[in-house]
Structure 1
Amino acid sequence: MERPLISIVFCSISPERYKKCTDNIASTIGVPVEFVRIDNLEYKWPIAKAYNEGAKRASSDCLLFLHEDVEFEHHGWGKALVEKLHEPTTGVVGFIGSRILFDAIGPWCMSGSNYGHVIGVRDGIVEVMRYHEFSEKDSQMFVHVAIVDGLGMAVRKDVWAEHPFDEAMLTGFHCYDIDFSLTISMAGYRNYAYTFGIIHFSRGSYEEQWLATTYKMLVEKWSPKLPYGVDGSLKDIDVDGLSASLDYDHIFRFFRKGISKSLARKMVHRYLRKCRHSRAYRSHMAVVCWRYLCKYAFKK
């Protein structure tokens, strides 16, 4: 039996989805592959712990942490991925990512500097997420990015061993992708979006637990080092204004959803701290305070 060139690690909760996904990969990847299934119906671990354990069990020098609700249409996609991972400077390779992460509470994909091609399918609704299309002449299979999305993240085993998933902070199922890829990018490696296209049978959701984890990750760990960008992506843009706009928009998005008063208070306090040093934040300060009071303080 051939030694696998890549080990694919799943934090699995559906034997049916796992079987369908691995059958699809076996017929499309084009290189010897090993599947490592962490049965999280049994273990019920946070995803950081599940992925770290799966990486320890893997026998290949290359790892791919993958959701089990994806499908590959292109054949032979594994060869280019393994070759890219063996470049010494390569960090994490995902299927979609961004060159910028702002110091703002909100989805990473709102940065406006995103790369990749993912077809999202949920409840029969198809959403094609194609970012920064290139002409055929200038097309790039791998685009340098700062962070990648967690639907699929490939990395050499030695790089993962240097920077494993942060089990102390990541105690649920959110933000593991941003934290992991950002850590590795800041360590001096180059992350990439592999832009050939993938089908993802989910479109994600942003509920209170996601917001609480994002707040914790940014405020307690990354804010002093943000905003962060690669390849000069922060030049010639209004970083402060864009950050303020993202924070402002998402405060009201989550106010409308009815998040807990304690989390809303944390978000407003953070916004007010930003106002001390930012005219862009101050421009919406009165509205933020009034909306918070109307939503939470004046209600019995």
Structure 2
Amino acid sequence: MSNPTILFVLCVNDESMFQACFRQLASLPAPHGYHVEVLPIRHASSMTSAYNEAITHPAQFKIYLHQDTLIVKQHMLLELIPLFLQNPSLGMVGVIGAENVPDNGIWWESSDCRGKVIEYRHDTYQLLSFERDRQQPEAQDYIKAAAIDGLFMATQYDVRWREDLFDGFHFYDVSQSFEFTQKGYEVGIANQEEPWCIHKCGDHFDAEAYEKARQTFLANYR
């Protein structure tokens, strides 16, 4: 055990939302011998630059979490850490994503979306769930993925985020999924009997910034 710490890393620009998230994280039981720390990063110019600030932290396990994501599976860490320890080739785990990314780079337009999360959008809770065809065998612990969503990205190895390419708040997650794969690690989506997270999705979407990041992704990974 290199360092018995589980580090949650969050970009913060809404203190009340962060405090709600922090209180919930502080209540999560950790596996024996581990303790939980939370690293809030404020005034970030981009997700990649913020997350790179956490790379030098000695914690082996880092969970990059949106401030508007709440862990509702109380024993999530008791499932996640053994999943990593039993699968040393598994570099990064999410709760939702895709087995294959379409040519346009938009993972959620894939025909192979997997995972589940409870979304809170327009004052309504809704379960977003993508299951495999029942004729296909389920992976025992996780589904191998090409990309995972940035609302929850847990790692057991450190790979630098591409702040040289992505200077905003889009495509940091898909690009990081590809970076892990290029370095020989697997990326997975946890098989959740019940959802691990609630994601309080915002209603604002910067289409121009998203499209700029998408073109950068296509130019460098396609």
Q: TM-score, normalised by structure 2?
A: 0.86
The one of the two structures with greater contact order (alpha-carbon pairs below 8 A, sep at least 6) is 2
- What's 1:60 paired with? 59
Conserved 8 A contact 2:55-2:160: no
Equivalent residue number for residue 42 of structure 2: 39
CA distance in 2, matches of 1:206, 1:14: 18
* Offset of residue 166 of structure 1: 0.7
**1:120 aligned residue:** 119
Larger radius of gyration: 1
The Cα offsets for residues 191-210 of structure 1, whole Å up to 9 and x where unpaired, read as 11123211100067461210
Task: Note the aligned Cα RMSD (angstroms).
Answer: 2.2
- Indicate if the aligned counterparts of 1:38 and 1:54 stay in contact, CA closer than 8 A: no
Instruction: Give, in whole Å, the separation in 2 of the partners of 1:119 and 1:202.
Output: 10
Q: Which has the higher strand share?
A: 2
The 1:26–1:207 alpha-carbon spacing in structure 2 relative to 1, beyond 3 Å, is same
Task: Give me the identity figure in percent.
Answer: 24
Partner residue in 1 for 2:183: 187
Which structure shows the bigger proportion of residues in helix conformation? Answer: 1
Q: Is the 8 A contact 1:144 1:190 kept in 2?
A: yes
> How far apart, CA to CA, are the structure 2 residues paired with 1:12 and 1:134?
38
1:103-182 superposed matches below 5 A = 103-104=103-104, 107-132=106-131, 140-156=140-156, 159-160=157-158, 163-182=159-178
Pairing 1:187-266 to 2, within 5 Å after superposition: 187-196=183-192, 197=195, 198-202=197-201, 205=205, 207-218=207-218, 220-223=219-222
Q: CA deviation at 1:5?
A: 3.1
Letter aligned with residue 189 of structure 1 = Y
Judging changes above 3 Å, is the alpha-carbon distance between structure 1 residues 138 and 176 closer, same or farther for their aligned structure 2 residues? Answer: closer
TM-score by length of 1: 0.65
Specify the SS of the correspondent of 2:55: helix
CA distance in structure 2 between the partners assigned to 1:150 and 1:195 by the alignment: 17
Counterparts of 1:202 and 1:109, CA distance in 2: 15
Q: Distance in 2 between matches of 1:92 and 1:138?
A: 19
Cα distance in 2 between the residues matched to 1:134 and 1:80: 24
| CA drift at 1:54 | 2.2
How many residues matched? 210
